[in-house]
Amino acid sequence: MTESSCYSPRVRAWLLLLPPAGLAACRVLSSGVYEQDGGASAVDAALAYDLAVAAEVLDASLPIDVGEPPGVAGRPAIVGCADGTREGFRDVANWPDIAGCAGGFDQPGVVGTPDLPPVCNRIAGDTSTNPNGLGCNAADLCAPQWHICRDGVDVAAHSPTGDCESCVPAGEPRFFLVASGASSMGICSPEANETNDLHGCGGLGEPETPWCAPLSRRMDFSDCLATAGAWWCGDGSGTNGNLDEALLVTKPKPDMGGALCCKDLPDAHPG
């Protein structure tokens, strides 16, 4: 049995889209742990694991996809999203200080110290006149007096339960990211030099590493590729994505989520 025959026909078709150089360069394990011994076996193990995860994402998406219900509309300052509709944490009464804001953005990267500033005057969001976020970054999805949540600590400070519970219903294929990456060992940090994977809340991507709690989901370049263009965070070739997803990420389409936004509360998070 060849390596490719281990996967379903649908997954094998997807695997053909990945550049051979990108596959060989893949070094990020699903747990976020980076093999540093440089051996061929480490590369092979990482490749096998990432492809298996991609296969699971692709195959599982068919039966559990429940679609994307419309967001809850309201004043941007209240719902937290620049376009006035909230798609994650839709119960505004119970989740007044944290919101999932769907939409696209074409300016790459989400790491920022201390906050990622908006660049297009917040003219973004899936129900805006600029749903693909042309000229915008992820922070432009958040309303004024709100910011893209920095990390798990920021999320915990704004969530009544201290975690990502109820971000989206089970099976809803949306992911809302925070403005930080992780180290090569999968330890989340808002530092601009920590750019491994995308991290956040929702129902899309892989289970988060324990070092990034209370965040619940993460995406690497293979997870982004599996969204058929809704997310882009590199292709894994060389240095183009396998450790730099948070530096490279753009979102060409408005579906499948966007940014996790936290309300500006003076005493809720450090400066």
Torsions phi, psi of 212, nearest 5? -115, 5
Summarize pLDDT for 185-213 with one digit per residue, the tens: 899 987 888 999 999 999 999 999 999 99
| Structural tokens at position 199 | 């991290």
Give the tens place of pLDDT for each residue, 198-256. 999 999 999 999 999 999 999 999 999 999 999 999 988 766 668 999 999 999 999 99
Find out whether 32 and 218 touch, Cβ atoms under 8 Å. yes
Distance CA 235, CA 95 (A): 35
User: For every one of its 271 residues, what pLDDT tens digit does the chain have, with 9 covering 90 and above?
Assistant: 433 333 333 333 333 344 433 333 322 333 232 233 333 343 344 334 444 444 443 333 333 345 788 999 999 999 999 999 999 999 999 999 999 999 999 999 998 767 889 999 999 999 999 999 999 999 999 999 999 999 999 999 999 999 998 899 988 999 999 999 999 889 998 788 899 999 999 999 999 999 999 999 999 999 999 999 999 999 887 666 689 999 999 999 999 999 999 999 876 444 3
C-alpha–C-alpha distance, residues 101 and 201, integer Å: 12
Report residue 228 as tokens.
């058929």
As given in the structure block, the two tokens for residue 99 are: 């919101």
